[in-house]
């Protein structure tokens, strides 16, 4: 049974950065109601009503996974580790974005799957066999007609974006070689609950995974988890290592340990999510209170990182130009545009936060350390960051 525990109100599609603010663009902006449910049968946390993927993954997809040093390093490290561990002769990545992972593989060794045409163009140009399509049974069959099954299927921040998980996992099973490994990582619901990072809920994050939920879902597609890792990336992610039911892999003890940890955290109980829902409401009032106080004192506040996550915060908390001046972002194709829903101008982060700024809300709180290093001058002159994770607070130099 699906039970609702969170209502994040009317939200826009997070990838829909506006090029212009005028009557027409505002009228055409698409909104939907973002509410989140817990499935008591398989412990899966999902959006109650996912948006049509064709509206989301267009040829104007903005996010470039290679924009942060943290992620470039993380993808390089995992590529090296997977090559050593599984020695795959044929690999595939589902959701290859701008090629930040596959660039660590030889051109003939890996296939890219990426539905956003503008991103698929990048990996094609790099020389990789790229399918500019959504991952589903039809595509899996098409790829198998031309290629061997895969010894390694990798996917980062993509599986949680796909509404139909049964079809997704069935297609993976079909595409894996007998002892192939399916390694995928996505934001972890355990971290979201712990850190109160409710901004991980937005249109693209159709599900947030736990080990409990994934174990149950994979079983239905004759797959099983044989190892698991908790990661610090994106404010807390989970990496699953899965294989066919009869593959050679022995289950690592990390699986049992995490299973117990999740039960202890209560990820199997609706009550845990209900309590989280209440904490989210408090976080909203704390943040709005702080921003209003700073505004009253004449402080200049901006936001750092035009993240998809921050669209949830701004729209849920009703934060617009009344409280925040603009957003800084290093991604070229976001610059000069306006954030979805609240229409904050996105400016280049350029040489750093300018002297007139007193506070910067961390839209990209998951890159706090990287941003702190970049913006050390801002901190040294007394500038401060604001975050809502794990609770609303101000971060200075110390």
Q: Per CB under 6 A, which region of 29-37, 45-53, 257-265, 330-338 contacts ligand DWN?
A: 330-338
Task: Give the residue, chosen from 313, 349, 379, 384, that forms a contact with ligand DWN under the rule CB under 6 A.
Answer: 349
When the beta carbons of 221 and 349 are compared against ligand DWN, the nearer one is 349
At 53 the three-state DSSP class reads helix
Q: In DSSP terms, which residues pair with 153 in a beta bridge? A: 92, 182
Q: Per CB under 6 A, which region of 123-131, 223-231, 257-265, 303-311 contacts ligand DWN?
A: 303-311
Q: Which residue reads 């796909």 in tokens?
A: 162
Task: Give the residue, chosen from 76, 219, 275, 374, that forms a contact with ligand DWN under the rule CB under 6 A.
Answer: 374
> Binding pattern to ligand DWN, positions 62-101, x when CB under 6 A?
-x---xx---------------------------------
Say whether residue 207 binds ligand DWN (CB under 6 A). Answer: no
Q: How many residues bind ligand DWN (CB under 6 A)?
A: 22
Cis bond upstream, residue 390 (ω within 30): yes
Say whether residue 352 binds ligand DWN (CB under 6 A). Answer: no
Say whether residue 309 binds ligand DWN (CB under 6 A). Answer: yes
With CB atoms as reference, the residue minimizing the distance to ligand DWN is 305
Q: Interhelix angle for 253-265 vs 211-220, to 10°?
A: 120
DSSP assignment string, 271-338: HHHHHHHHHHHHHHHHHHHHHHHHHHTT--EEEE---HHHHHHHHHHT-STTT---EEE--GGGTTSB
How far apart, in whole angstroms, are the C-alpha atoms of residue 388 and residue 314? 12
Asked if 185 and 81 touch (Cβ cutoff 8 Å), the reply is no
Say whether residue 13 binds ligand DWN (CB under 6 A). Answer: no
How far apart, in whole angstroms, are the C-alpha atoms of residue 385 and residue 396? 6
Say whether residue 329 binds ligand DWN (CB under 6 A). Answer: yes
When the beta carbons of 17 and 86 are compared against ligand DWN, the nearer one is 17
For residue 272, what are the CA distances in angstroms to 6, 190, 193, 259, 281?
Answer: 12, 10, 8, 16, 15
Say whether residue 203 binds ligand DWN (CB under 6 A). Answer: no
When the beta carbons of 197 and 210 are compared against ligand DWN, the nearer one is 197
Binding site for ligand DWN (CB under 6 A): 63, 67-68, 157, 204, 234, 305-309, 329-331, 334, 349, 364, 366-367, 370-371, 374
């Amino acid at each position: 049974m699906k039970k609702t525990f969170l209502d994040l109100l009317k939200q826009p599609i997070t990838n829909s950065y506006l090029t212009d603010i005028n009557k027409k663009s505002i009228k055409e902006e698409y909104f939907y109601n973002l509410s989140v449910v817990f499935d008591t049968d398989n412990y899966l946390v999902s959006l109650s009503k996912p948006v049509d993927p064709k509206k989301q993954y267009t040829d104007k997809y903005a996010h470039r996974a290679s924009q942060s040093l943290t992620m470039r390093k993380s993808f390089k490290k995992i590529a090296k580790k997977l090559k050593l561990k599984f020695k795959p002769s044929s690999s595939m990545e589902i959701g290859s974005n701008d090629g930040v992972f596959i660039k660590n593989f030889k051109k003939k060794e890996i296939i890219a799957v990426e539905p956003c045409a503008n991103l698929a163009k990048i990996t094609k140009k790099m020389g990789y066999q790229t399918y500019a399509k959504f991952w589903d049974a039809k595509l899996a069959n098409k790829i198998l007609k031309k290629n061997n099954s895969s010894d390694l299927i990798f996917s980062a921040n993509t599986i949680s974006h796909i509404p139909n998980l049964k079809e997704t996992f069935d297609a993976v099973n079909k595409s894996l070689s007998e002892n192939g490994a399916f390694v995928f990582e996505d934001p972890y619901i355990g971290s979201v609950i712990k850190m109160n990072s409710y901004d991980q809920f937005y249109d693209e994050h159709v599900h947030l995974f736990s080990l409990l939920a994934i174990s149950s879902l994979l079983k239905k597609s004759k797959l099983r988890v044989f190892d698991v890792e908790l990661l610090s990336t994106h404010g807390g992610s989970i990496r699953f290592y899965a294989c066919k039911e009869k593959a050679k892999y022995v289950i690592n003890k990390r699986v049992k340990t995490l299973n117990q940890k999740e039960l202890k955290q209560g990820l199997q109980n609706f009550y845990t999510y209900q309590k989280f829902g209440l904490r989210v409401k408090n976080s909203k009032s704390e943040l709005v209170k702080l921003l209003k106080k700073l505004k009253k004192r004449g402080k200049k506040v901006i936001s750092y990182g035009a993240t998809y996550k921050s669209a949830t915060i701004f729209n849920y908390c009703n934060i617009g130009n009344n409280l925040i001046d603009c957003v800084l972002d290093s991604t070229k194709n976001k610059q000069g545009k306006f954030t979805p829903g609240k229409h904050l101008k996105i400016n280049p982060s350029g040489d750093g936060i300018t002297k007139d700024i007193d506070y910067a809300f961390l839209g990209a709180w998951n890159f706090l350390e990287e941003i702190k290093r970049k913006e050390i001058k801002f901190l040294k002159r007394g500038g401060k960051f604001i975050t809502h994770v794990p609770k609303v607070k101000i971060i200075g130099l110390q």
